[in-house]
Chains A and B, each alone.
Chain A
Amino acid sequence: NSKVIQTPRYLVKGQGQKAKMRCIPEKGHPVVFWYQQNKNNEFKFLINFQNQEVLQQIDMTEKRFSAECPSNSPCSLEIQSSEAGDSALYLCASSQGYAEQFFGPGTRLTVL
């Protein structure tokens, strides 16, 4: 079973509000991924890190989304100004790099 921890499990925000979620990867996994899963089961890769450095990110995350993985602290994904279309399950996964990714339970964001 995965040992990736995500908090909070549920997040409700109004439009324009900030939404922040956190992830603790499995011990020994240097790579962390963030995905967005919408209600139609479409997954979107958002960003990934190796230790504290960003490896890849999509354009969307460069505008309203910000993420970081500081040393000795949980990784975080923050939406600066939430929109209704941001309502989704946000999944964090960790990996040793070439190997499979292990997912946390997700943070379900609802933007009212």
Chain B
Amino acid sequence: AQSVTQPDARVTVSQGASLQLRCKYSYSGTPYLFWYVQYPRQGLQLLLKYYSGDPVVQGVNGFEAEFSKSNSSFHPRKASVHWSDSAVYFCAVSVDNYAQGLTFGLGTRVSVFP
């Protein structure tokens, strides 16, 4: 079975500063990796995805992430955050099979202060 760890429950950053989130997964096979963002009273929006190939992927809203097989990690980064980036960010993993459910981490709550 697969698992996801997000070691930081909360991150606080100043507007304009960079943001680094962390995600480590556990799975012996080929993972599909995702980051989703959840704004208050909303569902999940896809931010980043990694299936294979170039380990650096570009996402939406200025996010990019690097996949590391050796470290079992998929860490996203944003160079300059805005107050509207305040939200809860979830890392998720799926196995390489058709129609598999996602396994989520517990999320990282990001607060951006002006």
Residues of A within 8 A of B (CB): 1-2, 4, 6, 31, 33, 35, 40-43, 45, 48, 50, 55-56, 91, 93, 95, 97-98, 100-106
Contacts and interface: CB of A to CB of B under 8 A. Distances in A.
B99 A97 contact: yes
B2 to A, nearest CB: 12
Most chain A CB atoms below 10 A, which of B34, B46, B102: B102
Contacts, number: 55
B106 A42 contact: yes
Interface of B: 32, 34, 36, 41-46, 49, 88, 90, 98-99, 101-104, 106-107
Contact of B102 (A40, A41, A56, A101): A101
A40 B107 CA distance: 9
Nearest to A105: B43
B113 to A, nearest CB: 22
B49 A2 contact: no
23 contacts: A2-B45, A2-B46, A4-B43, A31-B99, A41-B88, A41-B106, A42-B104, A42-B106, A45-B102, A48-B99, A48-B101, A55-B99, A56-B99, A91-B43, A91-B44, A95-B99, A98-B98, A100-B49, A103-B43, A103-B44, A104-B43, A105-B41, A105-B42
B45 to A, nearest CB: 7
Contacts of A45: 101-103
